[in-house]
Amino acid sequence: RCADVTGVQTCALPIYVILNKFCKFKLQYFLERLIDMEERLQKRIAASGLASRRKAEELILSGRVKVNGEIVSVLGTKVKNSDFILVDNKPLPTLTKAYYVINKPRGVICTVDDPKKRRTILDILPEEALKQHVYPVGRLDSDTKGVLLLTNDGDFMNHMVGPRSGIEKEYLARVHGIITFNDIKKLSEGVIIDSKKTLPAIVSLESVDEKNNSSLVRITITQGLYHQIKKMFISVGHEVKKLTRVRFGHITIDNLREGELYKLPIKDVKILYELSLKDKELKI
Ligand code: URA
């Protein structure tokens, strides 16, 4: 079986690279699934819902986990989808894949385990979503509100947030000061943050509040660098006072109150997969 899997991988990789350049969408997506992705054993156990990541590490260290019949007690061991994992001689449970969209309120952090005991995204999820072990897809800052996806599907997560993901994220930013045409030009062509130039963005001025010396700017980006929007505005001399994510791919939250969530229909999950495989560069 191993030889078969390796054979498929050896052929699939070069084909994938060619398709990545010349072809889009479904074919490419199915080929990616053929390449049997590796992940850490403790992550795989946690993703099954059997135990938290920390508990999974304890299970491994205490010799209670077998991979393909052999006890594995080394943390960080990589496993493939095709590997057969037993914990206490029982197969891992299979979690039904779940996808949600929440309108994240301000004052909630996206990390799931906060040593400072601040309000986390898990604190505001309903029991049903918690039981499905969903995690935020990427992060929004604690003071940012708006569209946030949640899932327990690791493959989907990687497509949405990985470096290859070209999903559009649209924000409304209330910034200090009056934005000029030159600022918009710089932001859309790319600015230097953390020594790297940002990819092209779509930027437009929504309104100016002269009395309060602020501007409302709509900005769409395809990357997801740390504090990207705030840093982009700082680089042109404007501090972000309020930030709202109004769109992720084709998902908006027009009818969702803060803190409300809904299950993402599978047709939307498919569209997001396709968007993540599309042309990465925004046409500005
Ligand atoms: N960029 C930011 O600066 N903050 C966010 O929360 C999202 C994007």
Query: What is the structure's pLDDT at 78?
Result: 93
Query: What is the structure's pLDDT at 15?
Result: 54
Ligand 1 neighbour 144 (Cβ under 6 A): yes
At residue 9, does pLDDT exceed 90?
no
Query: What is the structure's pLDDT at 53?
Result: 84
At residue 4, does pLDDT exceed 90?
no
Range of lowest pLDDT (56-70, 108-122, 264-278): 108-122
Query: What is the structure's pLDDT at 218?
Result: 98
Which ligand 1 atom is the nearest neighbour of the CA of 140?
6
Active-site pick, 36, 141, 155, 268: 141
Ligand 1 center–CA 181 separation, angstroms? 22
Q: Which one is predicted more confidently, 195 or 25?
A: 195
Ligand 1 center–CA 232 separation, angstroms? 10
Ligand 1 neighbour 193 (Cβ under 6 A): no
Q: If you average pLDDT over residues 153-170, what whole number do you get?
A: 87
Q: How confident is the model at residue 47 (pLDDT cuts 50, 70, 90)?
A: confident
Q: How many CA atoms lie within 13 A of 172 on its CB side?
A: 10
Reported as a single tens digit per residue, the pLDDT across 60-117 is: 999 999 999 999 999 989 998 788 999 999 998 877 899 999 999 999 999 877 888 8
Query: What is the structure's pLDDT at 55?
Result: 92
Average of per-residue pLDDT values in the chain: 87
Q: How confident is the model at residue 32 (pLDDT cuts 50, 70, 90)?
A: very low
Among 229, 237, 243, CA closest to 178: 237
Q: Is 123 a catalytic residue?
A: no
Name the H helices within 91-213: 127-131, 154-161, 181-189
| 164 vs 7: CA distance, rounded Å | 25
Ligand 1 neighbour 108 (Cβ under 6 A): no
Q: How many residues does the chain have?
A: 284
Q: How many CA atoms lie within 13 A of 270 on its CB side?
A: 5
Q: Whole-model pTM?
A: 0.75
Ligand 1 neighbour 104 (Cβ under 6 A): no
Ligand 1 neighbour 83 (Cβ under 6 A): no
Please give the span between the terminal C-alpha atoms of the chain, in angstroms, as a whole number. 48
Reported as a single tens digit per residue, the pLDDT across 206-243 is: 999 999 999 999 999 999 999 999 999 999 999 999 99
